[in-house]
Amino acid sequence: MPRPFRLAALVLFGFAVIVTLVLDSGPGRCPRAPRKEREHSITIRGPHGGVPRYALAGVTVTRGTPDLEGLAKTLGEVLWADLQFEGVFEVLPATPPADGGKPQEADAVVSGEVSRESGGTLHLEVRIREVTSRQLAFGREYVGPETNPRLLAHVAANEILSAQAGIQGLAHSRLAFVSDRSGSFNEPTGSRRRVKEIFVADYDGHNDRRITTDGDLDLTPSWSSDGRAIAYTSYRRGYQDVFVTHIEERRQDTPTGGRGKNWLPAWSQDGARLAFTSNRDGNEDIYVMNTDGSGLRRLTTHWAIDTSPAWSPTGAQIAFTSNRTGSPQIWVMDADGSNPRAVTTEKYCDRPSWSPGRVNEIAYVSRTKTGFDIKVIDPATGVNRQLTHGPQNESPTFSPNGRHIAFTSTRSGTQQVWTMTRTGDDLRQVTRLGNNSMASWSR
């Protein structure tokens, strides 16, 4: 089993701490920043309290390793994209404008240097200097496998965002999603249908790989809180049931015991419980169980259809979809099933996703004049806002820091996974091969 990176050295350098990190790019691991002690650094400020402007000088190659120039270019591009994604810095290009205009003045310069060490490992050094004073605001060194150079840039970007902006970066977060890109078909009951499996990719769509090999219809993935497992719905038995695949161990569990039809699993934030929909007692209701299948409890007992559970950040409440008022709406109840109340009163609402960020809001799908769109609502006040405007936008999932939303859209002509900010800005297409949907963002 791969090990997380370890803190290898701590050396005072100017006004910042140079930290060497040894990274492991195992399939299920997301490196975490180490504890830092006695760090003396400065925070880059923008003009008049505005957004700080960062110029990227690129990543250069240590003398004697010219074959790393292509890799160094990739590292610089990934670092630029990761910092630009969060929008807390104004990231300026290192080259002058093509039209000959005057380049913008920067408040800080980000530079990097990469070299190869023994054993096929890379050494990346990243520094940020404040332009006016030339003081070192950030200095770190990273060591990782040459087989996954993007990981080095991702970790560096996350640490820059943490140190300079105080936010949790998403650079080494991942998206699980459903895809039919294999092009295979299955005929379980005589009817021909496309095989859909669960795939995982970096937040930007790179390093995608298949997680399930069921050869049937796999849907609705949900990440565990530690990023080691994914719960999902599968029709591999001829009917829908909840499975859990443990990525590193390459094994699967069926915590429901195969009783009844079960679907739409949702992992609690503490990783201890799974909420899901089941008809085991004759009606479609919300149930909860421990991840090993013990402690099963039915939460809803209404005659209507209750489905699509989503945990609140604290685990004290669950949002879900119910048609008990005549049409599907978003409801919220306590985690023990008590105190259910409707949050929306629209034509049609479904697939809630509760933000883990500082702002208390739920993203959901709403039927609008243009089709299906993504909205967010404050469950306490009922104030909502529409983020997309047709044609078909579904299955929202919040990023781990609550600043972004991944969702399914047909705006490019086929069904693909996109991301946007929680305000509906900065739309980016993540997937392109085949049809892709139902994303879940790792925590």
**Residue 1 within any structural domain of the chain:** no
Mean pLDDT of 240-258: 93
Number of domains in the chain: 2
Do both 185 and 160 map to the same domain? no
Q: Which of 165, 185, 220 is the last residue of a domain?
A: 165
Query: Looking at the structure, do residues 187 and 86 belong to the same domain, yes or no?
Result: no
pLDDT of 389 above 50: yes
In a domain, 376, yes or no: yes
- Are 193 and 140 in the same domain? no
pLDDT for 119 equals 81
pLDDT, residue 66, reads 79
Residue 70 lies in a domain: yes
Neighbour tally for 103: CB within 10 Å:
12
For the ranges 10-24, 88-102, 173-187, 245-259, the lowest mean pLDDT is seen at: 10-24
pLDDT for residue 37: 37
Decide which of 118 and 415 is more confident: 415
User: What pLDDT is attached to residue 117?
Assistant: 87
The pTM assigned to this predicted structure is 0.89
Has residue 434 been placed in a domain?
A: yes
**Listed residues 148, 165, 182: the one ending a domain:** 165
Cβ burial, residue 105 (10 Å; 0-12/13-18/19+)? exposed
pLDDT of res. 193: 75
pLDDT of residue 20: 55
- Tens digits of residue pLDDT in 39-94: 446 899 998 888 999 999 999 998 777 789 999 999 999 999 999 999 999 999 76
pLDDT at 188: 61
Q: Which residues span the domain enclosing 33?
A: 6-165
Q: Are residues 126 and 269 in the same domain?
A: no
Q: Per-residue pLDDT for 230 more than 60?
A: yes
pLDDT at residue 31 tops 60: no
For residues 246 and 294, membership in a common domain is answered with yes
Tell whether 212 and 359 lie within a shared domain. yes
The reply to whether 225 falls in a domain is yes
Per-residue confidence (pLDDT) for residue 7, from 0 to 100: 26
Same domain, 245 and 378: yes
Which residues partner with 267 through β-bridges? Answer: 274
User: Of 120, 139, 165, which residue constitutes the final position of a domain?
Assistant: 165
We report the CATH number of the domain holding residue 142 as 3.40.50.10070
In this structure, are 178 and 119 located in the same domain? Answer: no
Cα separation, 370 vs 368, whole angstroms: 5
Task: Identify whether 48 is part of a domain.
Answer: yes
Please check whether residue 345 lies inside any domain of the structure: yes
Please tell me whether residues 159 and 221 are part of one structural domain: no
Question: Do 151 and 181 fall into the same domain?
Answer: no
The answer on pLDDT for 391 being more than 90 is no
Residues 121 and 201 occupy one common structural domain? no
Residue 215 belongs to a domain: yes
CATH number of the domain enclosing 183: 2.120.10.30
Question: Per-residue pLDDT tens for 137-187?
Answer: 999 999 999 989 999 999 999 999 999 999 999 998 999 999 999 877 776
pLDDT value at 271 more than 90: yes
134 and 213: one domain? no
pLDDT digits (tens, 9 = 90+) for 407-442: 999 999 999 999 999 999 999 999 999 999 999 999
